[in-house]
Every structure is written in C-alpha cells, then in structure tokens.
Structure 1
C-alpha cells in the first residue's frame, strides 16, 4: 500500500460519509483493486463506528499518515454531523487481527440493521464480524423467494441466510455448520428478530458425514451453498464443492432452486456452471445475482459469485 494514495481514500470516505448510511455498509473497498495503491484497505460503517481494516502492511509512513487523516476526520464538522462515535483500525495482516481504537470506545457487539433485519456482530476479536456485507443482495434474494419454502442452509455460519428466509415467510429452515458456536450466534440473530425457532433447526454437523440426517429433514425447495474457499482439514473448494453438487437431486423438490456461492478469485462463474452441469445436469443456470455497488471489482470474475440454478 502506498501512503501517497491516501488522499484518494479520504476523498472517497468523505463522499460516502456526506450521506452516511443508516444501516451497516462498506464505505471503501480497496480490495476490488479499483484504487491503485489502496488494494489492501477497507472501511465499514457500523452504527456510527468507522472500522478500517488493513490486510497488508504498507510503506513505513502509511499507517502514520492514515492515523493522522482519521484523527483529522474526527474533528471535522462532517464527523459531527454523522454522529460518529468511534474510529478503529484492525490489523488483519497481524496474528490475531488486533484492533486499535483511535477515537471513542469500540462497541464490540453491536446490533446492526441490514435491509431492515437485525444482526449482532462481533468486532475486534475475530477476522470476520459475523456478517459478510458483500452478500447483502444474496440475503435479499433469499427473503424474496422463501415464502412457504423448506430451506436448507449449508455452511450456515451465523445463519444470515436463515434469518432472511424466515423474514421472507419460509415454513422451515435447516442450518448446517461444523461450528456450533457460529450456530449459537445464528440462533441469537433469529431471536433478535422475534422469530419462532420451532421452524428453525441448527445442526452442528460435518456436512460430508451427515447426508442421511440432512436428507431426512427434506426435501427442500431452496438450498443455499456458501462454503469457505478453504478450511484446513474440512473443505477444499475445487474438490469438495462438486461433492455437494452431486447430492442436490436427492435433496431438492421437483421444482427446487439452488443458490450456489463462491468467493474465491481463483475460480470464475464457469467453475460453478460447469460443475453443476457435470454433477447435477438436471439443474440449469438461471442468473448471477449482482453484488452491491460498494463492492465494485476491477474483475467481476474475481469477486463474490452468487449463482441461481433451478430445474
């Protein structure tokens, strides 16, 4: 990262804060590589907190000048008008992803709003907040298509898709994830929105060892697949994704839909389209769901891919 490009960062940040969003949002997305010299910095707006993340160490002056600029922002009329409360830098390239509070106090467990739905985040202790902001349109799509549906949410994490599905009127949602702690956070996200948990299941299973249990709770009208790109010992994208796709015909209803997601720059949309054709040829590609505009990428194939398939 280059300190001489920081004026561009602050120019973009000022533009976005001039009309500060009322919901949680990405304000600056350097990782889309649209801003030369700023490819490893992002900035999110979280209930009046400015969370700046650095993914790689910059030149010797970069952090010093970044801090100076953020402190100057905190004394500006613009900052006062946004009712900003704190500014935090998270060093994602360091072990443990430590955070440094520059201004105010970090609210580490804020309840945020996205598309009118509540989610609780966990900031400052983990690399991820608990809600991937680039998936907003995917969650919106699920809510719009969940009415009276039986939904399977694979690699559920903190159950963002599940919450959106219940908001959309799903009859039943089955969440599957190896991390029971993540599923517990998902349960709390449902409670935040006043959902009846009798219609929601939380299964702390290894998906590849639990197809029988998952199948018994089906068939499913909608299946969501949103795996990590790589998880040591449990998931390797190019090999294991196909193992999931070949199971779809035995899990889906005759008019079922699939939302297949992948967020790796190493594979293109064709990876999912071709893999589906090989493993579940009865399903056809319908569309790619757009990513939110704040996540613009110089190469759309390198960014998040959210793909709809149907019989």
Structure 2
C-alpha cells in the first residue's frame, strides 16, 4: 500500500462519491486484484457512513498515510456533497476485527437499503456487518423468482435472501442457521420491511441433524445454499458441501431450482458443477449469476460463485 497506490485509491473514491450511490454499494474492491498495492482494502458506502476495511496489516507508516488520506478526503467538496457524515476503519487482520471511528458519532447499528429493501447492519463490534454486498444480484434474482414459491434458505445468516424472497411474493420461507443471534437479526430485517412473519420460519439448528424437520416444511420450489467456506466445528466446504447436495432431490418439488453459492477464492465454479453432477445428477446446471459490477476481479473464477441448477426428474 505505497503512496502511488493510495493516490489511486483517493481518486477512485472521489469519483465514486461524485455523486454518491443512492443505496448501499461497494465503492472500492481491492480484493479483486485489479489495482496493484491495494489488494487488501475495500471501501463500502453505507448511506452516510464510509466503511474502510483492511484485510492485511500494513506498515505503521502506511497505516498513518492511509488515515491521513482518508481524513483529507473528508474535507473534499465531493465528500461534503455526498452526504457522508462518518468514517469507520476496520482492521480485519487483528483478533476480533476492531473498528475505529475516524469521523462521526459511533453507531452500533445502522439501517441501509438495497434494491428498495431495508436491512439493519452491525457496525464497530463484529467482523461482518450482517449483509454481504457482493451477493446483491443474487438477492435480486431470488426476489424475481420467488412469487408463489416455497423457499428453503440454508446457512441463512441474517436472512437477506429471505427478505428478498418475501418481497418477491414467496408463499413461505424456511431459514436455517446455527447462529440464533443472526436469525434474530433476520426477524428484525423482515420487520423493517413490514413483512408478514407468519410466512417465515426461523430454525436455529445444525443442518446435518435437521433433514427430517426440513422435509416436513417441504417440498421446496427453490433452495438457496450459501455456506461459509470454513466454520470450525460445523462446516468444511470440501467435506460438507457434497453432503448437502446429495439431499437436494429429496427436498425439491418437481421443476424445483437450487441457487448454490461459494465464496472461496480457491474454488472455481467447476467444483460445484461437477460435485452436483456426482451427488445429485437430476439437477442440471442452468446459469451462473453475474456479480455486481462494483466487484471487478482479475480472476473471475476466484470471485463469488452463485450457480443456478434446475431439477429434472426424467
């Protein structure tokens, strides 16, 4: 993160804020390896709050230079015209991912919009805010597909897909995640959008012990699988993803669809396509959803994978 790279970042942010997005968006995605020297930094627009995330520890001088550039940015007319009022720096490379408010009043929670839907984010005290911005087109696709459908949302986290599905007219959504606190935030997100919670089920269970319970709510017209790449004690992608895929035909309705996702940069889309063919051969690859343009990647197969599969009983 040398001086030339920081100058590039500054110009990129000035351009991205002129004007600022009307909804939450990523402003700069260094992890796509398109800008040398900036591979370990991302910047997000949270509708008045700018969140800068560092994924690797810089030298002390580099960190000081970054902070000086960011404070200089806050004095630029583009910043002032954008409506930005707060600047938050998160150090993801440290234990507990501490965050520091460089400008503005600390806020533990913050409401944002995406495609007209409302979500509540956690700021300053958790590693993740509660909504992965690179999946916004996936959520949009679910909203467009959901009308009248029964949806199963595995590894639901804060239920972003569920919010999108109910907004799209889903008949019912079943959310499953081990983290009950995340599901509680999912309820909050649905309430923010004035959704009918009688259509939404929240199951705080371990997936591999819950197949029977899930079957009782099915069959499902759409199943969403968006697991972590690795979660100690609960999920390891290479070992556990096949165990999920082989269960899908038993859970799906005729002509059902699956949205299978993977965010591991070391795993390309062929892994999911080949593993699905081996574990659930009646499900056929249909398409890979595009990633948002604000997430450019010099190696597309390393970027987020969101693949659609279609069930065929014949």
- CA shift, 1:60, in A, is 3.3
**Which position in structure 2 is the counterpart of 1:193?**
193
Aligned equivalents of 1:108 and 1:301: distance in 2? 35
Who is 1:4 aligned against? 4
Q: Secondary structure at the match of 2:34?
A: coil
CA contact (8 A) 1:146 1:169 kept: yes
- For 1:109-258, list aligned pairs within 5 A: 109-258=109-258
Q: Displacement of 1:74 after TM fit?
A: 1.2
Query: CA separation in 2, counterparts of 1:211 and 1:178?
Result: 14
Q: Deviations over 1:2-31 (max 9, x none)?
A: 343100111111110012001111000101
Q: Does 1:67 align with 2:67?
A: yes
Within 2, Cα distance between the matches of 1:3 and 1:274?
44
2:45–2:51 Cα contact (<8 Å) kept: yes
Contact 1:96 1:126 in 2 (8 A): yes
Shift >4 Å, 4+ stretches? none
Q: Give me the whole-angstrom Cα distance separating, in 1, the residues matched to 2:305 and 2:106.
A: 32
Mark the runs of 5 or more structure 1 residues left unpaired by the alignment: none
Q: SS state of the match for residue 152, structure 2?
A: strand
Cα distance in 2, alignment partners of residues 3 and 212 from structure 1: 57
Does the 8 A contact of 1:3 with 1:61 survive in 2?
no
Name structure 2 gaps, 5 residues minimum: none
Cα pair 2:159 2:183 within 8 Å, conserved:
yes
- 8 Å Cα contact 1:2/1:59 also seen in 2: no
- Which is worse superposed, 60-69 or 134-143? 60-69
Q: CA RMSD in A?
A: 0.8
Deviation of residue 239 (structure 1)? 1.0
The 8 Å contact of residues 14 and 79 in structure 2, kept in 1 or not, is answered as no
d(CA) in 1 for partners of 2:95, 2:4: 27
SS of alignment partner, residue 109 of structure 2: coil
SS at match of 1:56: coil
Asked if the contact 1:42/1:54 (under 8 Å) is kept, the reply is yes
What is the TM-score when the length of structure 2 is the normalising length? 0.98
Q: Aligned equivalents of 2:224 and 2:127: distance in 1?
A: 23
Q: What SS does the aligned partner of 1:214 have?
A: helix
> Could you say what secondary structure the match of 1:287 adopts?
strand
Q: CA deviation at 1:53?
A: 0.6
Q: Is the partner of 1:285 in helix, strand or coil?
A: strand
How many angstroms apart in 1 are the aligned matches of 2:3 and 2:301? Answer: 28
Q: Distance in 2 between matches of 1:182 and 1:256?
A: 27
1:264 correspondence with 2:233: no
Please give the alpha-carbon distance, in whole angstroms, between the structure 2 residues aligned to 1:194 and 1:79. Answer: 33
1:221 partner SS: strand
Normalised to the residue count of structure 1, the TM-score between the two structures is: 0.99
